[in-house]
Amino acid sequence: MTMEEKIARINALARKAKAEGLTDEEREEQAQLRRDYIDSVKANLKSQLDSLYVLDEKSGKKTNIIDFERERAARAGEKKEKQ
């Protein structure tokens, strides 16, 4: 099932839930389809973030955005400990 088909089915189940309610089987299907959709969105976002980088203008060094955020968070943690 393609993602477009999954989204259409999610929407159909949502309309049915609102109109008349869902069976236990349909609720399970809806939950699984929603989980698949969320996992797909997360994977796509991770893929996009993995391809981004920060360029240091002075040194010309490229740093992956994920690594950059980790380094920034670590520096922020060190500053808090010193205070």
Name, in order, each residue with C-beta under 8 angstroms of 76's C-beta and a sequence gap of 6 or more. none
pTM (predicted TM-score): 0.67
**pLDDT on residue 65:** 81
What is the rounded distance in angstroms from the CA atom of residue 68 to the CA atom of residue 83? 23
C-beta atoms surrounding 33 within 10 Å: 19
Q: For residue range 48-83, what is the model confidence (pLDDT) as tens digits?
A: 888 888 888 888 888 888 788 888 888 887 766 665
Residue 12 has pLDDT above 90, yes or no: yes
Residue of 73, 72, 74, 55 lying closest to 64 (CA atoms): 55
Structure tokens at 49: 């973030």
**Which residue shows structure tokens 């797909």?**
40
Task: For the chain, give the mean pLDDT.
Answer: 89
pLDDT at 40: 96
